[in-house]
């Protein structure tokens, strides 16, 4: 006697699970232009690498001892390999009750949740979100309402952020708790046309505020990757989203306990780029392209930009220098003069936190005119944003190198510097700095002298000329020891810094000096 009959039963149950919510639900999923949860996992994972867990879980109905129907839980989960390395994937299955519910309960013998496994196994968590959160239908099933407690299953999701890389893809209309899981990550992405994000969708908005709005208008990519910054990147297709997730993870270690993987890029570390000698126009009113500057310095084609459409005055992302992963940011003077507004500041904070959490060196290419001024900036709370940046800078400890390319002014300028740990700063001859700008600053500080002059305008110009003569970076270097470099030396010096940083990073492995706050 063998166990062939039970194995046949196992296979039958697996088949029932693989049917997800049934042919009708799957057909509707396709009509919406979406892949199914299982198709998504196969498109994301390395070939044949999906190892499902909790795949037999669901709601079963029996007649006597015979199983007569089975609906799987509304998530498909397991481990995959991505770029050869293990990760946990948890995909909502919208075809089963709109992807809602189904979190592991507290039954005796309950298996670990996906996030708990991710923590225990020290491997990245990838969420493929396509779920609407709770529904009032749940009240009828329970025969009561319930207090909206979530700590038992959201606490591990928060803990994850300071232990392993977490990625969220928004792949449908995502509301409720799943909507919060979107930005509760180190990197998030949505797909043009099929992805929307909100705590409550159009019917909830209608009931609360009385107006009509479409899902796309309320929480589509035009809102979230451009205006709110809740989601980082936009993908044209689901395949594109999976490719971006793969790329993002390729820069990171599997957990805070490991060094980021190094690859061979073939770009010589001592490459001197002639173009850097003239990339900053001598006419100070002419901006340079911060993104182009950054791409010229890092290993060729290695820059992966995070949140390119949001807070555009700052360009942030991951790149490689001599094959090592770095976090890198640059002011982009093409947008708002490169000034740090709340959005640009929040990108800087998240990049510093990402580097600090996963022990990556940070490179900052500064052309910083200061915090954004004006009424709009005040309404957004630019001072609190400033306080957060200053705090994040001071609490971080990963090696950091700043190259001052152009302007470095005010408290925002200060945020490209950290007076502790392994920090290095180089300046280009085109750099100029101060606690505030000479133009504008002169009018304020010398107001009485200017106003009482026979020709106030001539007096103002005379004072500005006097101050400008002091602004040569060489005068600062004489007094402070600040190093000024030939711009063409930038890449070789940064590659050397990143190499030296590896020794320090190895001493910092493990829990980061501050928790990662999304």
Interface ranges with other proteins (CB under 8 A): 283, 285-287, 312, 333-337, 339, 369
Which one, 329 or 339, has the nearer CB to other proteins?
A: 339
In which residue are the tokens 């992963």 written? 325
Which one, 144 or 286, has the nearer CB to other proteins?
A: 286
State how far Cα 17 lies from the chain centre: 33
Q: Helix axis angle, 456-469 relative to 438-445, nearest 10°?
A: 120
Which one, 361 or 386, has the nearer CB to other proteins?
A: 386
Which one, 145 or 283, has the nearer CB to other proteins?
A: 283
Which one, 327 or 333, has the nearer CB to other proteins?
A: 333
CA distance 88 to 79: 4
Q: How far is the CB of 406 from other proteins (least distance, A)?
A: 11
Which one, 178 or 370, has the nearer CB to other proteins?
A: 370
**144 vs 98, 137, 233, 469, CA distance in Å?**
21, 11, 40, 76
| Residues ≥6 apart with Cβ < 8 Å to 293 | 276, 279, 330, 365, 405
CA distance 336 to 38: 44
Q: How far is the CB of 334 from other proteins (least distance, A)?
A: 6
**220 vs 181, 213, 443, 445, CA distance in Å?**
16, 12, 46, 48
DSSP alpha helix (H) spans, 337-472: 342-358, 375-380, 382-395, 410-414, 438-445, 447-451, 456-469
CA distance 394 to 267: 33
* Residue 260 DSSP code: P
Which one, 213 or 335, has the nearer CB to other proteins?
A: 335
Q: How far is the CB of 285 from other proteins (least distance, A)?
A: 5
Provide φ and ψ at 399, rounded to 5°: -55, 140
CA distance 398 to 504: 8
Q: How far is the CB of 224 from other proteins (least distance, A)?
A: 17
Q: How far is the CB of 433 from other proteins (least distance, A)?
A: 17
Which one, 83 or 440, has the nearer CB to other proteins?
A: 440
**Alpha-carbon torsion (307, 311, 312, 315), positive or negative:** negative
Q: How far is the CB of 473 from other proteins (least distance, A)?
A: 21
Q: How far is the CB of 439 from other proteins (least distance, A)?
A: 8
Helix (H, G, I), strand (E, B) or coil at 441: helix
Q: How far is the CB of 13 from other proteins (least distance, A)?
A: 54
DSSP run (H or E) holding 147: none
């Amino acid at each position: 006697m063998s166990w062939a009959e039970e194995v046949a039963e196992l296979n039958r149950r697996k088949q029932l699970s693989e049917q997800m919510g049934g042919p009708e639900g799957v057909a509707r999923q396709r009509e919406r232009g979406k892949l199914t949860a299982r198709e998504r996992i196969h498109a994301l994972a390395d070939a044949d690498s999906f190892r499902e867990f909790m795949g037999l879980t669901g709601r079963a109905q029996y007649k006597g001892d015979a199983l007569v129907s089975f609906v799987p839980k509304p998530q498909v989960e397991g481990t995959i390999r991505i770029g050869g390395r293990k990760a946990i994937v948890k995909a909502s299955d919208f075809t089963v009750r709109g992807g809602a519910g189904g979190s592991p309960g507290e039954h005796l013998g309950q298996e670990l949740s996906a996030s708990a496994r991710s923590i225990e196994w020290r491997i990245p968590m990838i969420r493929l979100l396509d779920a609407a959160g709770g529904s009032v239908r749940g009240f009828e099933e329970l025969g009561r309402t319930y207090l909206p407690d979530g700590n038992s299953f959201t606490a591990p999701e928060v803990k994850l952020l300071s232990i392993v890389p977490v990625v969220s893809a928004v792949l449908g209309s995502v509301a409720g708790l799943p909507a919060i899981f979107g930005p509760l990550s180190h990197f998030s992405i949505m797909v043009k046309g099929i992805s929307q994000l909100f705590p409550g969708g159009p019917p909830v908005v209608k009931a609360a505020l009385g107006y009509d709005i479409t899902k796309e208008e309320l929480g589509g990519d035009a809102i979230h990757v451009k205006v709110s910054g809740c989601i980082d990147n936009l993908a044209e297709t689901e395949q594109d989203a999976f490719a971006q997730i793969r790329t993002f993870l390729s820069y990171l270690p599997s957990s805070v306990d490991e060094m980021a993987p190094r690859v061979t890029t073939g770009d010589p570390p001592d490459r001197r780029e002639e173009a850097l000698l003239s990339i900053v126009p001598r006419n100070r009113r002419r901006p340079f392209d911060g993104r182009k500057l950054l791409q010229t310095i890092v290993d060729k084609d290695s820059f992966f930009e995070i949140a390119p459409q949001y807070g555009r005055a700052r360009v942030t992302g991951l790149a490689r220098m001599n094959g090592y992963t770095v976090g890198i940011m640059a002011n982009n003077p093409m947008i708002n003069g490169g000034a740090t507004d709340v959005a640009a500041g929040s990108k800087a904070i998240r990049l510093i936190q990402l580097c600090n959490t996963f022990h990556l060196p940070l490179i900052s290419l500064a052309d910083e005119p200061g915090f954004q001024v004006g009424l709009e900036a005040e309404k957004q709370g630019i001072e609190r944003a400033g306080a957060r940046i200053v705090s994040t800078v001071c609490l971080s400890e990963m090696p950091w190198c700043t190259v001052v390319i152009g302007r470095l002014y005010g408290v925002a300028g200060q945020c490209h510097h950290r007076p502790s740990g392994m920090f290095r700063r180089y300046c280009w001859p085109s750099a100029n700095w101060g606690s505030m700008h000479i133009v504008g600053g002169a009018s304020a500080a010398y107001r009485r002298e200017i106003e009482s002059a026979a020709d106030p305008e001539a007096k103002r110009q005379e004072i500005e000329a006097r101050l400008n003569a002091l602004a040569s970076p060489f005068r600062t270097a004489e007094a402070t020891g600040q190093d000024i470099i030939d711009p063409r030396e930038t890449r070789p010096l940064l590659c050397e810094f990143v190499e030296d940083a590896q020794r320090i990073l190895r001493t910092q492995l493990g829990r980061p000096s501050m928790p990662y706050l999304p």
